[in-house]
Amino acid sequence: MKKGIHPENYRLVVFKDMSNGEMFLTKSTAPSQETVKYTDGNEYPLLKVEISNTSHPFYTGKMKLVDTAGRVDKYMSKYKKHMEKK
């Protein structure tokens, strides 16, 4: 590894998966404004993530139903005039 390019200020941080509420403790240098009391009783900085290994379909083997109907309807209404011209 190259010298002097890696951060030195690693600290324990709790990552919280917002899709299922799972939390895990690891080291990180990412900044955080929030803190949370972890299962060991100590308080750590909190970083929220949308998806982690506890909710990703590759790791869980389950496909998660994503509501795309709203996005499709929005797209159709936005470009309805352009589709009628063809």
pLDDT tens digits along 18-76: 888 899 999 999 999 999 999 999 999 999 988 887 877 676 777 655 555 667 777 77
At 43 the pLDDT is: 97
* pTM confidence score: 0.64
At 59 the pLDDT is: 64
With helix as H, strand as E and coil as C, how does the chain read?
Answer: CCCCCCCCCCEEEEEEECCCCCEEEEEECCCCCEEEECCCCCEEEEEEECCCCCCCHHHHCCCCCCCCHHHHHHHHHHCHHHHHHC
